Amino acid sequence: MANDASSSSTSADTIPYPTLTILYLPSEANLAIEEISQKYNNMTVEDCKGFFHQGKERDYKKITIWSQGIDSLWFNAIIARIKDLSNLESIPIVSGGIMYSI
């Protein structure tokens, strides 16, 4: 029984892993990067090129956020603002290992 108690104690003491969320923001949405960095300080920003919209090459900022979870109301508001700034209908993101556009 001592082994069972130590096993459950070990599992209760484990630290939950942070989630990884990646946004590919068009270069016109640079203002949003500052807002994201104020909310989530565990993030990186990289310049990259992508073919996400109509297969045309475009400059993007790859924003990688490590967090215990993303505030969905805030996230939806920032995505709407990014779409408005960049005149795009969708923004590519990776969450939970799956890439999709919202």
Task: Give 39-69 pLDDT, tens digit per residue.
Answer: 988 999 999 999 988 888 999 999 999 988 8
CATH number for the domain that contains residue 61: 3.30.70
Phi, psi of 42 (to 5 degrees): -95, 75
pTM of the prediction?
0.75
Q: Is residue 6 included in any domain, yes or no?
A: no
| Residue ranges with strand state E in 27-102 | 43-50, 58-67, 92-95, 98-101
Q: Is residue 10 included in any domain, yes or no?
A: no
Q: Please, are residues 11 and 83 in contact by the beta-carbon 8 Å criterion?
A: no
Q: What is the pLDDT of residue 12?
A: 52
Boundaries of domain holding 55:
16-101
Kindly report the length of the chain: 102
Q: What is the pLDDT of residue 76?
A: 92
Number of domains, the chain: 1
By CB atoms closer than 10 A (0-12, 13-18, 19+), residue 89 is exposed
Q: Is residue 3 included in any domain, yes or no?
A: no
Q: Is residue 68 included in any domain, yes or no?
A: yes
